[in-house]
Structure 1
Amino acid sequence: MALVGGTVGAANANSGPEAVSIAFDEGVARIFSEDGSEVATQITEETEAETTLEATLSGGEAIEAVVYAGPPLAPPVAPTQAEIDAARDARLEAPPEYLTTGESDREEGVLEAAAVDDADFAPFFAEAVTSTSAAFAWVDSDEATAYEVVRDGEPIWEGTATEFLDEGLIAGTDFLYEVTSFDAQGKSIITRTIPITTLGERGENQTSMSPMTYQPYGTAYLYRTFIPDNRVSMDLATTWGCGQAFKPNRSFSGDDRSWATPPASTPFDLTTYRSSVFLYANWDSPDGMSYVKDVSPTKLYEGNSLIETRTASVNGISVTNLQMSGSFAGARINHEVTNPFCAAGAISYSVDVRMYRNGLIETVGWRYPVPRHEIYGRWNNTGAEFWRTIGQLSNQGFHCLTGACGSETVNLSKTY
């Protein structure tokens, strides 16, 4: 078994302190010194989702490592074309409910979460750092055939191994790595972001690597869909099933904005959107997850004259499969929200959301590639809460609302 997936000469390359590599062997993360011998490590902190280790090589070089674990990943299965057609036909036969108040439809509360079974957790990613090196190892997915490593925005390695070593780094320096897996068609499967800080020079005081991004209170998650245009003009695709065929000069309202990082007041902010799902995991109260589901009104115009306002029901959004512990929270969002004037089409997606107290957030599932989808996480590792982008997914055309474009895989992972 190869211990190291690759080595890259990085900034300040030299033959200084000894580097280490890390690899998974039958589900166990093992650390090796440059001579290939396994390094004996000591656990300094452990939860079901994260194990922190430290060691010292014979030459005095310090090592810190983190191994991440999680329950089995079984994301929602994308619908077949037959299922897509059946869902469209069902909406046409029994159009979904809607409101005519002109207001958003909102639901908020706390959903009971099942306890996580620690025995279900298995390691899936590991990292180890010294003063001048960073090593990573990951568990291969069935679909992955190649990988790429990016450091601070610059690609530095690609290959088929599931381990990687970066040597010659500057001591006491922050680096942001991204490890992306690809399938046989060259399509990205998942990208994991890994912020690390190399250890200081020997003799300096060190801050423990873990918990690097430990969340002191809770983690928030936001999934929104929106239309960037102010108006969407009618065409054959948008009139089908809308009751607007052969009625010229008609349009629907959009949200008239671009990507928008959530403000502090989210989910009760004034940002416009088609739909919004907010989840919050309180790590000290792992028996329930707070949520807010919201659908905005849609306006129908003829020219510049407003004809009618309708709001699709928030009942098209469900949050299920909740499980929580003091370091992991998982939920599934099922979303089928129509344009209330157009029963044939719907904004559709289904994703599993996995939040870890160590700062990792994953989103895995599928969507119809319409309209724009934006996904954000709220972290607290600086003494203040802040939102960061997890994913921004484009609009491939409003005809995709009917399922004409099929489904698109959503597989995103961010750590801060």
Structure 2
Amino acid sequence: MRWKFEFVRGANMGRAAVATTVTILSGTLTAAVPAEAKSPDVGVFLDLDQTTRFVDTKGKPIRIVADDADEGERTVLGKVGSGAPAKIVIQKAPPMTSGSTAAFAVLEPERQLSSPPAVEVSSLDEKDLKFDTSSMRSVSAWAVTPWTASLAWAVPDSSVASKVYLNGSFIQTVKGGRFSIPGLLPATKYVLKVTTPLTTDQGEAESEKTFTLQTLAEIGLPVTAKTFQTYSTAFQYKTFIPPARVDASMCNWGDNSFTFGGDNRGFRSPPVNAPFDTPNYRTMMWANVNWQNPDGQKLVLAKNVGQSITYKNDQVYATSYASTANMLFQDGQSAGSYAQVRFKHDASNPHCKLFDINYGGVISYSVIVRFYRSGLVEVVGNRQQAPAHEGWARFSTTAGTEQWLNVFQLDHLNFKCLVGLCGTQTINHARAY
């Protein structure tokens, strides 16, 4: 059985785009190598359990030239059996800790603030983030040569099938959590996405990992192990109500003349002044990792809420701001080129309570945000499926560039989800710069 897919390789440092035909024969990915690819398509064989011995896809040992032995994100430079240069990156993380969402969270009494609260900012330094790194385990890995790219990722077991996409086009289904693609062009960026089905306590879900990789030049090795080094990496999580108005009768004695004010928007990239932009959201949590740590503040944290407005017959009935007391930053840890923090979020509508008891449910999520200096942000956890949730990663490089990339966009399902009637939704997404 034979299928053919044609991909156009661009963004090649000024070089004209080249069309390459990738052919799948009996489930094995092969490729017609472009004429300018003068070396055999020998890639790196990746396994998350490997630590000291690396081999190429022909089974030959890789000659190690440099190894930074980083605790959180290890980078190894070497040469495959054909003599072509290779770069291997192994990304680790500590075990997940408890932090599941609760349908009826016990909240601190809501403070109905009448004026806009200031963005709350806090920070953690190196000593606050230290932990026992012996518990870390490999969660993903990638490798490149001038003509190949390889990936490895955690799967529940070897029988689970993952789908692999190249530059947005599906190319193959693979089992075992590893993949290698030949026929690429040297010094060229490629986007590889892997989706894997998961079975969780909340039912069926999916992991989605997106890697932006650049193949190596034909001759020589990178000057530094971390070629795409970032100065800082940030992640922002927002919840918002897409419509301009939503029904508020459930919080007002069944009277359908009441409505809540929404945010009147869709998914939207944060502006340049985030997290200090004008709130167009229900809630916002934000974390920034300073990799070079010039001022001792390794992890800077911020949170804020938008204004809650209740209308009666289209006239403003009540305005206030909810409390951020139950929007918590937990489990802050850092080792080498790795950092993490948990966003533990429970926030209710201050106009939907009686005697400080919330009866309208809570906007609830709990996620671990993992940062890797090479340019990967991974978010793992779960949420109640209301309202809309979005996650964005910002990468600021030593070259002075800055870019926001979307990590996930999760739609609003039903406000009944806030009281636990929909079940939680698993979040398992990663995005690379």
Tell me if TM exceeds 0.5: yes
Q: Which 4+ residue blocks in structure 1 deviate beyond 6 angstroms?
A: none
Aligned residues: 393
> Using a 3 Å threshold, how does the CA distance of structure 1 residues 229 and 144 change in structure 2: closer, same or farther?
farther
Residue type at the aligned position of 1:328: Y
- 1:62 matched to 2:75? The reply is no
CA distance in 2, matches of 1:144, 1:270: 48
**CA RMSD, 1 decimal:** 2.8
Which shows bigger deviation, 221-230 or 207-216? 207-216
Residue type at the aligned position of 1:9: T
Structure 1 position 56, deviation (Å): 2.8
Structure 1 position 365, deviation (Å): 1.0
Match of 2:373 in 1: 357
Match of 1:210 in 2: 225
Match of 1:17 in 2: 39
- 1:134 matched to 2:149? The reply is yes
Which shows bigger deviation, 171-180 or 29-38? 29-38
Match of 1:282 in 2: 290
Is this contact kept in 2: 1:144–1:182, CA < 8 A? no
CA distance in 2, matches of 1:143, 1:248: 53
Partner SS for 1:199 = coil
Partner SS for 1:119 = helix
Is this contact kept in 2: 1:137–1:163, CA < 8 A? yes
Superposition pairs for residues 98-113 of structure 1, below 5 Å? 98-104=111-117, 106-111=119-124, 113=128
> Using a 3 Å threshold, how does the CA distance of structure 1 residues 25 and 228 change in structure 2: closer, same or farther?
closer
CA distance in 1, matches of 2:207, 2:224: 24
> Using a 3 Å threshold, how does the CA distance of structure 1 residues 100 and 157 change in structure 2: closer, same or farther?
same
Residue type at the aligned position of 1:250: F
- 1:125 matched to 2:140? The reply is yes
> Using a 3 Å threshold, how does the CA distance of structure 1 residues 361 and 27 change in structure 2: closer, same or farther?
same
- Percent of residue pairs bearing the same amino acid type: 29
- 1:231 matched to 2:245? The reply is yes
- 1:307 matched to 2:307? The reply is no
> Using a 3 Å threshold, how does the CA distance of structure 1 residues 73 and 247 change in structure 2: closer, same or farther?
closer
- 1:196 matched to 2:210? The reply is no
Match of 1:8 in 2: 29
Counterpart of 1:347 (choices 350, 353, 363) is: 363
CA distance in 2, matches of 1:334, 1:190: 20
CA distance in 2, matches of 1:181, 1:144: 11
> Using a 3 Å threshold, how does the CA distance of structure 1 residues 35 and 298 change in structure 2: closer, same or farther?
closer
CA distance in 1, matches of 2:369, 2:158: 20
Partner SS for 1:28 = coil
CA distance in 2, matches of 1:375, 1:66: 25
- Per the normalisation by structure 2, the TM-score is 0.82
Unaligned runs of 5+ in 1: none
Structure 1 position 379, deviation (Å): 0.4
Counterpart of 2:382 (choices 354, 361, 366) is: 366
CA distance in 1, matches of 2:300, 2:199: 39
Match of 2:11 in 1: none
Unaligned runs of 5+ in 2: 1-25, 353-357
Counterpart of 1:401 (choices 403, 408, 418) is: 418
- Per-residue CA deviation, residues 114-134 of structure 1 (Å, 9 max, x unaligned), is 313333333332222222211
Match of 1:251 in 2: 259
Structure 1 position 407, deviation (Å): 0.9
Match of 1:177 in 2: 192
CA distance in 2, matches of 1:323, 1:288: 10
CA distance in 2, matches of 1:246, 1:33: 67
Counterpart of 1:160 (choices 175, 196, 199) is: 175
Match of 1:328 in 2: 338
- Per-residue CA deviation, residues 153-208 of structure 1 (Å, 9 max, x unaligned), is 0111112222211111223321111122213699553222222222333x4x6545
> Using a 3 Å threshold, how does the CA distance of structure 1 residues 190 and 253 change in structure 2: closer, same or farther?
same
Partner SS for 2:181 = strand
Match of 1:221 in 2: 235
Structure 1 position 262, deviation (Å): 0.7
